[in-house]
Each structure stands twice: as structure tokens, then as C-alpha cells.
Amino acid sequence: MKKKPSCAAPLLLLLLAACSSISTPADVGNIESPANGAGGSTASVPTAVGTETAASGPAYVKPEDLKAVPLVFGRIESPALEKTAAPETASPAKVYECSAAPGLPSCSVHLYEERADNGYIGVRVFLRVPDGWYAAGGSIAGDAGSLAVRYLPQGSGPAEDGPMELAIGGAPDDSYAGPVRTLFYDAEKGVWRMQDFQGHDVQRLDLNQDGQAEWISPSVDWVPPSVGIYRWDSTARAYEYTVVENVAAAAFGLTMEQVPLYAYLFKESGEWIIETGPSDRYGFFRQEGDQLVPARLTDERSRLMDLRRTQGHRH
């Protein structure tokens, strides 16, 4: 039987048990929403219909008045880790000894806590490999005991025996979005690289239900709310990224240069749905392959407006 790679630390079971107490996103009715820790001619604009008015909120646009649009991805950099001297602190708060995994040499992850006079507690991450030490980004808020370290398929891909990466931070069960950085080995260049998802809070979700999760940034508290998708391009061996509301503008016959759009991700009846539109109208979409496709829901209410009403403000 093939031995699975392990990334073990003292009291790891206690760490995983502690994560089960973390609160999950609140439901709005029977709707699940991921929690966070980021005018043209009227002839080309779909007619908004529904009971909501400009005074009460955005108006609903029917699926037949919207277009399916391709999700356009652009590459984002995964900088190489810089070699550094061994940390001066006498001993780390926690060490994870990580055995070799597909695409990853054996290594150890060292977590050093920082405590400031103002009460701030943060963790600095260092990677130790046979040729020395590497600094893995800046300080992460929180203590070492609550910081998850785990193996995941490269870019959250589906291949069980494919290349792996080390994910540091976030929710071990992907029940909420949080700050995450992944470390992976670039064998072609002989360097370790890091992806921090531009500092956005992310979680792994399978939006198009193809069995492959991507890193999703459901930034509901942004103004306007936003949904970002990060995925791994196995051919280019690089991460790429798209902003859903940017590409969704074309579904309304608009461009982002004409008017900004918002995007809000929620789960209903077991399916991930994206509500998006400019401030005065909205439609529902689902991801199918590499496209955003208009979706018809029995309940046409704006789910973002429902959420904002419970919060006492609007988007």
C-alpha cells in the first residue's frame, strides 16, 4: 500500500479538533454564503423586471435577457522564496516535519510567534530544507496553535497522485475564507515558490461541480462585493486569476469602464450561484466549465439585498 505523505506536528490532533469550533457562515433563510476573514446605450442593456424599484433595491433581470460569457483568466506571479539566515528566536512555537510528496521534496515548516505591546499576535513562517532556510512571507495574524498546515493537490487539482503543495492558514475543512499562502516546488527552476492569493481571504470550493476545487475569494464585505477565482494552469505551471464581476459585465451588455458591478456567491439547494450586476439590477449565474451561464431560480429575490437588510445596510 502506498504510504501517504504526512505533515505531522505535536498536538496535531488537538489542532484539528480546535478547528471544529470555528463558526461557519450564517444562513440567510436556507441559503449558505461563504464567510470572509475581497452606462452604455439603453438599446444594448437588458430590461430589468421585477417588483423591486430603485427606491427598494436593484431589479431582477431574467435569464433570457442575459448572455453566457466566458471566464477570462490572467496569470498571477508566484514569487520564489528568498533564502535567509536561521531565525534568531531560540525555538519555534511549532514545527511540522513534512515527508516527501509528489512534486515536493521533504522539508519542515517552522512557525515563530510575534507578540506586540498592543496585543497583536502574529506568526512568521519559515521553510527549512537541506540547503538552508527560506522566509515564507510576512506575519500572519493569530497564534501558531490555530494556524493549519496541510498537503493539498497543486492548485487544488483533482489528481490524487499529482503534484502537491503545502497550504498554510485558512480553514482545514474549507468552511470559511481566510488568509492562505501555499508553498510549492518549481523543479524546472529548482526553487520554492509561494502564492498568497494577493492577500485575499480564500477557501477551496468546487463552483462548477466538476470534482475539482479552486481557491475562491468571496469578498462579501468589499464595496462593491466581489468574487475571485484562482486556479492552477498545469500546462504553464502557474496560477491564474479572474474577477467574476468584471467578466459578467458583458452579460448585461456593459463593460467595467461604463459601470462597476458587484458579485455575491451563495449556495442554494446544493448548488453554487453567483448574483451579479450593476447597482440598479442583477441576475443569477452558475459556472459551467469556463463560462458564466444565466441561471433561473424559483425565488427571484436579491440574496445580497436579503443579507444587507439583516446587516442594516445596502451594497
Residues of the chain with pLDDT > 70, as a percent, come to 80
Residue partners of 295: CB distance under 8 A and separation at least 6 = 63, 273, 284, 285, 286
Cis-peptide, bond into residue 224, ω within 30° of zero: yes
Which pLDDT score is estimated for 107? 97
- Between 283 and 2, where is the model more confident? 283
How does residue 133 score in pLDDT terms, banded at 50, 70 and 90?
very high
Helix (H, G, I), strand (E, B) or coil at 253: coil
Q: Any idea what the Cα angle at residue 269 is, between residues 267 and 271, rounded to 5°?
A: 50
User: How many alpha carbons fall within 13 Å on the CB side of residue 178?
Assistant: 21
Q: How far is CA 8 from CA 3, 85, 139, 184, in A?
A: 14, 24, 22, 18
Cβ proximity of 32 and 127 under 8 Å = no
Which pLDDT score is estimated for 302? 96
Q: Which three cell numbers stand for residue 10?
A: 505535536
Whether the pLDDT of residue 162 is over 70: the answer is yes
- Between 313 and 116, where is the model more confident? 116
How does residue 161 score in pLDDT terms, banded at 50, 70 and 90?
low
Residue partners of 51: CB distance under 8 A and separation at least 6 = none
Strands 238-243 and 262-268: unpaired
What is the longest distance spanned by two Cα atoms in the chain?
Answer: 69
Residue type, 56: S
- Between 33 and 192, where is the model more confident? 192
**CA-closest candidate to residue 38, choices 309, 224, 308:** 224
Strands 59-60 and 281-288: parallel
Rounded CA separation 145/79 (Å): 27
Whether the pLDDT of residue 9 is over 60: the answer is no
pTM for the whole thing? 0.81
Question: Could you tell me the residue ranges of all domains in the chain?
Answer: 25-311
- Between 302 and 39, where is the model more confident? 302
Cβ proximity of 245 and 224 under 8 Å = yes
Read off the pLDDT of residues 278-296 as tens digits, 9 standing for 90 and up.
Answer: 999 999 999 999 999 999 9
- Between 160 and 43, where is the model more confident? 160
Q: What is the mean pLDDT of residues 57-71?
A: 96
Cβ proximity of 203 and 215 under 8 Å = yes
- Between 296 and 211, where is the model more confident? 296
- Between 270 and 33, where is the model more confident? 270
Average pLDDT, the chain: 84
Residue type, 232: W
Which pLDDT score is estimated for 33? 61
Read off the pLDDT of residues 85-108 as tens digits, 9 standing for 90 and up.
Answer: 999 877 899 999 999 999 999 999
Which pLDDT score is estimated for 155? 80
- Cα Rg of the chain, angstroms: 21
Whether the pLDDT of residue 69 is over 80: the answer is yes
The cell 503534484 sits on which residue?
Answer: 163
Count of Cβ atoms closer than 10 Å to residue 143 Cβ: 15
Residue partners of 313: CB distance under 8 A and separation at least 6 = none
Read off the pLDDT of residues 213-268 as tens digits, 9 standing for 90 and up.
Answer: 999 999 999 999 999 999 999 888 999 999 999 999 999 999 888 889 999 999 99
Rounded CA separation 304/82 (Å): 42
Q: Rounded to 5 degrees, what are φ and ψ at 309?
A: -65, -40
Whether the pLDDT of residue 315 is over 80: the answer is no
Rounded CA separation 217/196 (Å): 12
Q: Rounded to 5 degrees, what are φ and ψ at 310?
A: -70, -25
Rounded CA separation 215/192 (Å): 20
The cell 505531522 sits on which residue?
Answer: 8
How does residue 55 score in pLDDT terms, banded at 50, 70 and 90?
low
